[in-house]
Structure 1
Amino acid sequence: MKSILLASVAPMLVLPLAATAQAQETPAAGQVQDQGALGDIVVTARRSAETLQDVPVAVTALSGDFIERQNISDPTDIPQFAPNLTIEQQPASLSAATVFIRGIGNNEPSAVSEQGVGIYLDGVYLARAAGAVFNLIDLERIEVLRGPQGTLFGRNTIGGALQLVSKKPSDDMAVTAKAGYGRFNDWYVKARVDTGYIIGDVIKASIAGQHRENDGWVDNTLNPKSLDPGAVKSNSFALGLQGDFGDVTVNYNFDWDERKGLAPFFQLVATTPQAQAYYSQSPSFGGAPFLVSRDRLGTVQQAGYTEANGETRYRNTTRVQGHALTISYEAIPELTIKSITGYRKFYQDSIVDLSGNGFLRGLVLDFTSPTLVSNQVTPLYNANNAPQKQWQFSQELQALGKVGDINYLLGMYYFYEKSSENNRQSINILSTVGGLPLLDPRITQSVVDGILALNPGLTADSTIGIPATPVQAFGGTSQSMAIFGQASWKPSSLDEKLEITLGGRYTGDDKSIYLAGDVSPVQRGRKSFDNFSWLASASYDVTDDVMVYARVSTGYRSGGLNPRAGVINSFEPEKATAYEAGIKSQFLNNRLRFNLAGYITDYKDLQVQQFAAGSGGATSLIVNAGKVRLSGFEAELTAMPFRGFQIDGSVGYVKSNYKTFEFRDPTSNILLDVSDEAKPVYTPKWTIHAGAEYAWSLGDATVRLRGDYSRRTKIYFNALNNTAPFNEDIVSPPQDNVKARLSVEEINVGGGKLDVGVWGDNLLNQQRLTYGIDFGALGFAGAVFNRPISYGIDARISF
């Protein structure tokens, strides 16, 4: 059955791809009109440099010039150019991201949760999804690797990997500066200086920096524009050093990113009748009006987080920094030894305002009041998650060599991290007066009788709030060690047309956790896991320009210990086995490039979050809930019909078929298989992109016009409706985006070159729900909406 599906993918796609296909690259400035053909892109999908068309892996690569022209500023901008990839910034955070590839990922932002898609910066693994959104100011390229990468990249790449590669220092001195201004007072300035070789032909360096800030696009009438939701100021810095010492090459990279501001507005989109009736009375108690709307709002009230001393806070602060040191030693032409050392830190102080309203007021249970009830501010859900911090150290050793017809890579890997967070929450739990003993057994019937006697306006069916201020505090350590190897055989007797590759990796993980805050006494736990991941692939060059391949690869997402529970609760690793077949091809003297990959992934022991909210605050359970088969394809096409004109596009498809999905019914305590009800999360069935670009000469300058269209189908944020009663209300609907750019490039200015461009994004001005959270037990659900139509101008000068 697997072979039939994979074999049938290609003929089904030939016709649609003529109109809807995706670029894997955009040539460098001037390349379109000067060469009249598609250039090569070098990638490191197998941890060594290879051209995109020669590597038997499903990869999308975006070049540095394309990143610069498209103003791709952080990882959330990437998915519209890469099929079957989802990256969404999480609500109430400036730096947390949810990343999925081919239906596999993780949406838990806690300081001890593992990712399902590995993110790498200059070969160093970024362990925390909470620090995955940062400014991309100095990149040579971005690589999106789809499918399990467990052999060469290791744990937590069960869905794939995202590689961010910094620009290396230039051999010659150069200076580049760029500035831009757009709608919502969105402006930035950035610059890069390359020293060239400064000590003979040995040492060279680069320094880059950026300042960026913008107002929010939703007006909070309680605050000035600088405190509107979405208003952010950020500073970024990057340093690169390279030393060439004969057979030894040393590269050092340092990156630092700080963001201060507010997350986008979290808007209520649905409530229970009880919550609607209770909070709608807020104005009669002197509070703010209650706002609920399924349409994106432009003028709102946002209350912020109120400290115990009465101070109201709005701003978040996030800092991410890292060091990467890569040393390569060419012992002999057939053997290179490489060391990759990494150290990274992350810090976050987040104001988590998920109430979507101003200062609401209502009647709440109050044992300090003579009537047991008082009129108070009633936040639906606010919190201060601070500090959330993490540091990590990693060391990798590789030996890359060749013996006869065999290329090999052997390696060892070590990783250690320590992380913690302290989340102080403020919530309001609703109950009828008569139902209070059912909600909390400590509230007796005599308390209910006292409330009714002292408050003649209340009945047993009247709703009151129960204020709660739970604290979730936890932390832990993670240590991982691995040995791995991969060998590829390309027999010279077959003119190196055939390649057979085998690889394997053994990993041992050890984790510890402590649970504090409201958990008393402090709970401590420890758990160890191990895994063997393997890879087998075969590729064959049918012609010089056409390669076909097939591969089987495995991967795993490490098990762990649940930080959201009140007791030590461990869960096992997730595992995936992927079967993939594809073709990589170029035609018409490299004017047409077509790549296709079809896959089936058997994904088991899913770590599924089941959201819960109660008097202990917002919590979730993590269980190994079952297995799913994911199948689909990606097709990517780039064509240059004539000199200066390029069209490109992609199509991605994911089908999710749950085989088992175990759920324990909270009312009966019976374990049920609800696989027929489970929905894929953070995974659209279809992703589509189409772009076109035309460049022509105007004197000594180049004029470039580009347009892009992208679409993804709907996304669910929860697997089960019975654990998320508003799941259908917060579905992210199908999204279409149109963007365009017109630029004049390489204008002679003194001794330099000037580029000037104008751009527009979300040109259809669509209102799109991009991320939803279901607080079902608290009576409401909310979501973040996209930025309205935006446009601007930028200029870049280089010497």
Structure 2
Amino acid sequence: MHNTGDRTQEDNSTTSVRAGLEEVIVTAQRREERLQDVPIAVTALSRAEIETRGISNVIDLKSIAPNLLVSLMPNSNVVSQVSLRGGVTINGGLYWEPSTGMYLDGVYLGKAVGSVFDVVDLERIEVLRGPQGTLYGRNTMAGAVNFVTRKPSGIFGGSASVEFGNYGGHVEKLSLDLPRWGIARLSLAARKEDRDGLVKLTDGGELDSRNKLGARAALGLDFSDNFIVDYRFDYTKIDQAPPHNQLYYVTPQGPLFTAAAAYASRDRLSTVSTNWPSYEQLDLHGHALTLTWDVNERNQLKSISARRTLRNDDSVDLDGVPITISTAKRISNLEQKSQELQWVGRTERLDYVMGLYYYEDDGQTINPHEFFFGSDNSQYGFGVEAKSAYGQIDWRVTDALTLTAGLRRTKEDKTTWRFKSATPVSLGPIPWVSAEASFAATTPLATIAYKVNDRLNIYAKYSEGFKSGGFQGEAGSADEAVIPYDPEDQKTFEVGAKFTSENGRLQLNMAVFHNNIENMHVNRFTGIPGVSVIRNAGQATTKGFELEGMWVPSEALRLQVSYGYLKGEYDEFMEAAAPGQPITNVAYNRSFPHAPEHTFNVNVNARLAQTVWGELRGSADYGYTASFYAYPYQIVTVDPSRATAGNTKVDSCGLLNLRLVLADIPLGGSGQAEVALWIRNAADEDQPVNFIDFGPGFFADYTLAYYPEPRTYGATFTYRW
């Protein structure tokens, strides 16, 4: 059952487009299976695709899969905001937990903060859509993203590359496989990126720069043919400038906001003025130890132990202008530990996975603010201890029919503490308070899969997801700080089909889903300085359709297309329509955030010529996202004291990336070189992709906008041996 990571032709990103489609192997169900056999909506990217598309972290996924929307959290370049089938986390605070689980070599990454780090030596990426509450568990209600790194081969080899681009950008990468030494296999890799800021400051500084170092070490110890130990270490060091909080709109109300209005612009600015230091620093260490024992040909036991530590220190001029209206600073620490035991096996008619999982984390954030009318020292801490047991059985009733049943039981104990001092006192000081609460859920799975023939598989699935409740880290009062919000849960019905043509040149995968969500978590900025609150909106429904296709009409051309349709709406949103009015269902007048109705991606990869200098290839990658609302606010303005959703509506946008490659350049011996010219955001799209709306409660409508990176271009030189 073992794969010790021997190098294959598919490891090389210069592999030519073949006459048929390669067989894609995924581990979405904790065991190796053909993508076309797995009754799950999965998008899988091979190493060659990852390098061709220039993917190094979660932000690069963007809209690469149907109904997937990935962006940066406002005012940070190290916090991701992932929306999958309408499931999203809007707040970037460490006390929040994402709705889409991210995994690195089987280890769960518990927070969105620090999730934008470069994963060095990626072998494969899997995007699992829909609840993964049985096999994956914590906070995978919307889905899961698996990052799988390459195993050390024990054969000497590697690659080195250097990249140069505009804005002074340059990237250096090194991946090295060392020869086997006894029972040991070792690989080392590193990636260094630097870039000048995209926005210049009038005082000579800059914003939105890059200064990142990522490193990885992978050690494999083959104690015997059936017992292997794998150790992984990853390290990230970031010290750069955050994006500009560009003032998009402000009500010219009073002398202060009238003065700020002079700096407001709805066009992306390249030179600005601020009056507060802006920086972001991240230090991340990850350790993972995996023990794999093949008990026999049919049973495997695995232990995955992990520990990750994070320190994030940032400071932003939150108002975006050279007037002290709003500033923010965060000093955060987090430690997480996890342990998982898996038993994967099979009989003549059964495949089964069983496991025990333990996770704990502990962190705190110091979050002071300076405002035009005062200041506060906001601090909060958080912790969780989660335990779960799970099992899933696939019964092959016949060679064509497979029935699957799964169940997971989860229990989470959460703790919190909150403190806030303020000047003046009217800002609402909070004495030191603490609280704890427990949450539990049982999440089942049932699937019927039918193999019509060797080329067509269909399935119907029912699954449930669970995201536990918690506490308000940024609570505005002592009472709110100790009262937990309720868990969110989801019931999903899905029908899908996976088809491969007889000649192997065409592949089509489709899925239709319907989600019923209870106690949906929504985030609201209250207008009170430094206070965002989490509310249980009530009930919601999301439904949609997904299509992925791949076609290889000839050895020289490969086409990939994906399309997602999504409809999200509230069935119940309990809130007072305006202050003083009774609490009623206002679902008809609340926007569904980060849920674009249409997402579309097309990738064309073509061999243009075969020359004595190598193979000339070109690729074009286009991703389209329809318009969507950034926050769950009122659609029609009924209450002027609250924010209106249309003020932070993100317009539809399409991003085009182009790449021209001369690959397989012979240099003598076993080494080969590659030269690539590339352009990202070739059309220079420049409308906002995210917002912060302070709302009327901040004494004036004050809206900040965040823009995509402008057109960038450059060249990459790679040598492989």
| TM surpasses 0.5 | yes
- What is the alpha-carbon distance in structure 2 between the residues aligned to residue 30 and residue 514 of structure 1? 53
**Deviation digits for residues 164-209 of structure 1, max 9, x if unmatched?**
111111231112101101111111101011013122xx21010001
**Deviation digits for residues 504-541 of structure 1, max 9, x if unmatched?**
00001000100013254311100001000010001111
**Deviation digits for residues 693-743 of structure 1, max 9, x if unmatched?**
111422262111111211101121111135752532221100011111000
Q: Is 2:437 the partner of 1:527?
A: yes
Partner SS for 1:489: strand
Contact 1:266-1:355 at 8 Å conserved across structures: yes
Q: 2:374 aligns with which of 468, 478, 483?
A: 468
Q: Quote how far apart the aligned CAs of 1:222 are.
A: 1.4
- What is the alpha-carbon distance in structure 2 between the residues aligned to residue 554 and residue 536 of structure 1? 10
Find the counterpart in structure 2 of residue 437 from structure 1: none
Q: 1:139 aligns with which of 108, 112, 122?
A: 122
Partner SS for 2:589: coil
Find the counterpart in structure 1 of residue 426 from structure 2: none
- What is the alpha-carbon distance in structure 1 between the residues aligned to residue 282 and residue 80 of structure 2? 13
Q: 2:596 aligns with which of 671, 677, 684?
A: 684
The farther-off stretch of 253-262 and 290-299 is 290-299
- What is the alpha-carbon distance in structure 1 between the residues aligned to residue 325 and residue 419 of structure 2? 24
Find the counterpart in structure 2 of residue 346 from structure 1: 310
Q: Is 2:339 the partner of 1:395?
A: yes
Q: Quote how far apart the aligned CAs of 1:303 are.
A: 2.0
Q: Quote how far apart the aligned CAs of 1:621 are.
A: 2.2
Find the counterpart in structure 2 of residue 600 from structure 1: 514
Contact 2:390-2:406 at 8 Å conserved across structures: yes
Q: 1:618 aligns with which of 509, 525, 530?
A: 530
- What is the alpha-carbon distance in structure 1 between the residues aligned to residue 23 and residue 11 of structure 2? 9
- What is the alpha-carbon distance in structure 2 between the residues aligned to residue 192 and residue 28 of structure 1? 12
Q: Quote how far apart the aligned CAs of 1:627 are.
A: 0.8
Find the counterpart in structure 2 of residue 298 from structure 1: 270
Question: Amino acid of the residue matched to residue 497 of structure 1?
Answer: A
Partner SS for 2:134: coil
* Pairing of 1:290-329 with structure 2 (within 5 A): 290-304=262-276, 313-329=277-293
Structure 1 regions of 5+ residues with no counterpart? 1-25, 283-288, 305-312, 361-378, 429-466
Question: Amino acid of the residue matched to residue 685 of structure 2?
Answer: Q
**Deviation digits for residues 471-510 of structure 1, max 9, x if unmatched?**
220002100000000000113xx3x221110000000100
Check 1:281–1:636 CA distance in 2 against 1; reply closer, same or farther (3 A cut): closer
**Deviation digits for residues 116-168 of structure 1, max 9, x if unmatched?**
11010110110011111111221101110000000000020000001111111
Contact 2:235-2:284 at 8 Å conserved across structures: yes
Q: 1:718 aligns with which of 628, 631, 642?
A: 631
Question: Amino acid of the residue matched to residue 553 of structure 1?
Answer: S
Q: Quote how far apart the aligned CAs of 1:664 are.
A: 3.3
Q: Is 2:441 the partner of 1:497?
A: no
Partner SS for 2:63: helix
Check 1:406–1:707 CA distance in 2 against 1; reply closer, same or farther (3 A cut): same
* Pairing of 1:252-267 with structure 2 (within 5 A): 252-267=231-246
Find the counterpart in structure 2 of residue 15 from structure 1: none
Q: Is 2:74 the partner of 1:91?
A: yes
Contact 2:252-2:258 at 8 Å conserved across structures: no
- What is the alpha-carbon distance in structure 1 between the residues aligned to residue 560 and residue 505 of structure 2? 11
Contact 2:82-2:88 at 8 Å conserved across structures: yes
Check 1:580–1:281 CA distance in 2 against 1; reply closer, same or farther (3 A cut): closer
- What is the alpha-carbon distance in structure 2 between the residues aligned to residue 27 and residue 762 of structure 1? 28
- What is the alpha-carbon distance in structure 2 between the residues aligned to residue 176 and residue 797 of structure 1? 6
Find the counterpart in structure 2 of residue 419 from structure 1: 363
* Pairing of 1:762-773 with structure 2 (within 5 A): 762-773=681-692
Find the counterpart in structure 1 of residue 501 from structure 2: 587
Question: Amino acid of the residue matched to residue 312 of structure 2?
Answer: Q
- What is the alpha-carbon distance in structure 2 between the residues aligned to residue 426 and residue 117 of structure 1? 33
Question: Amino acid of the residue matched to residue 333 of structure 1?
Answer: E
Find the counterpart in structure 2 of residue 333 from structure 1: 297
Q: Is 2:714 the partner of 1:792?
A: yes
- What is the alpha-carbon distance in structure 2 between the residues aligned to residue 166 and residue 570 of structure 1? 38
Q: Is 2:65 the partner of 1:82?
A: yes
- What is the alpha-carbon distance in structure 1 between the residues aligned to residue 259 and residue 449 of structure 2? 68
Find the counterpart in structure 2 of residue 458 from structure 1: none
Find the counterpart in structure 2 of residue 641 from structure 1: 553
- What is the alpha-carbon distance in structure 2 between the residues aligned to residue 323 and residue 516 of structure 1? 32
Q: 1:384 aligns with which of 329, 336, 339?
A: 329
**Deviation digits for residues 346-376 of structure 1, max 9, x if unmatched?**
1111112221112x2xxxxxxxxxxxxxxxx
- What is the alpha-carbon distance in structure 1 between the residues aligned to residue 11 and residue 65 of structure 2? 17
Find the counterpart in structure 2 of residue 444 from structure 1: none
Find the counterpart in structure 1 of residue 659 from structure 2: 741
- What is the alpha-carbon distance in structure 1 between the residues aligned to residue 382 and residue 77 of structure 2? 23
- What is the alpha-carbon distance in structure 2 between the residues aligned to residue 281 and residue 555 of structure 1? 49
* Pairing of 1:153-552 with structure 2 (within 5 A): 153-199=136-182, 202-223=183-204, 227-246=205-224, 247-274=226-253, 278-281=256-259, 290-304=262-276, 313-358=277-322, 360=323, 379-386=324-331, 388-428=332-372, 467-491=373-397, 494=398, 496-518=399-421, 519-552=429-462
- What is the alpha-carbon distance in structure 2 between the residues aligned to residue 634 and residue 699 of structure 1? 42
Partner SS for 2:178: strand
- What is the alpha-carbon distance in structure 2 between the residues aligned to residue 788 and residue 726 of structure 1? 28
Question: Amino acid of the residue matched to residue 238 of structure 2?
Answer: R
Which is bigger in relative contact order (C-alpha 8 A, separation at least 6)?
1
Find the counterpart in structure 1 of residue 6 from structure 2: none
Partner SS for 2:628: coil
Q: Quote how far apart the aligned CAs of 1:666 are.
A: 5.9
Check 1:724–1:186 CA distance in 2 against 1; reply closer, same or farther (3 A cut): farther
**Deviation digits for residues 12-64 of structure 1, max 9, x if unmatched?**
xxxxxxxxxxxxxx99645444x311101111111111111110100001111
Question: Amino acid of the residue matched to residue 347 of structure 1?
Answer: R
Q: Quote how far apart the aligned CAs of 1:660 are.
A: 0.4
- What is the alpha-carbon distance in structure 2 between the residues aligned to residue 196 and residue 498 of structure 1? 45
**Deviation digits for residues 97-132 of structure 1, max 9, x if unmatched?**
111100012122222212111010110110011111
Aligned residues: 690
Contact 2:633-2:644 at 8 Å conserved across structures: no
- What is the alpha-carbon distance in structure 2 between the residues aligned to residue 697 and residue 27 of structure 1? 21
Find the counterpart in structure 2 of residue 22 from structure 1: none
- What is the alpha-carbon distance in structure 2 between the residues aligned to residue 604 and residue 515 of structure 1? 28
Contact 1:114-1:558 at 8 Å conserved across structures: no
- What is the alpha-carbon distance in structure 1 between the residues aligned to residue 592 and residue 577 of structure 2? 20
Q: Quote how far apart the aligned CAs of 1:281 are.
A: 4.0
Q: Quote how far apart the aligned CAs of 1:210 are.
A: 1.4
Question: Amino acid of the residue matched to residue 314 of structure 2?
Answer: S
Identical counterparts, % of pairs? 30
Q: Quote how far apart the aligned CAs of 1:315 are.
A: 2.0
**Deviation digits for residues 374-431 of structure 1, max 9, x if unmatched?**
xxxxx12111111x11000000001111133111111000011101000010122xxx
Question: Amino acid of the residue matched to residue 555 of structure 2?
Answer: R
TM-score (norm 1): 0.84
- What is the alpha-carbon distance in structure 1 between the residues aligned to residue 598 and residue 318 of structure 2? 30
Find the counterpart in structure 1 of residue 668 from structure 2: 750
- What is the alpha-carbon distance in structure 1 between the residues aligned to residue 248 and residue 605 of structure 2? 39
- What is the alpha-carbon distance in structure 2 between the residues aligned to residue 719 and residue 604 of structure 1? 16
TM-score (norm 2): 0.93
Find the counterpart in structure 1 of residue 617 from structure 2: 704
Partner SS for 1:198: coil
Partner SS for 1:69: helix
Q: Quote how far apart the aligned CAs of 1:761 are.
A: 1.2
- What is the alpha-carbon distance in structure 1 between the residues aligned to residue 617 and residue 604 of structure 2? 11
Question: Amino acid of the residue matched to residue 103 of structure 2?
Answer: Y
Q: 2:24 aligns with which of 26, 32, 41?
A: 41
Partner SS for 1:104: coil
- What is the alpha-carbon distance in structure 2 between the residues aligned to residue 735 and residue 196 of structure 1? 48
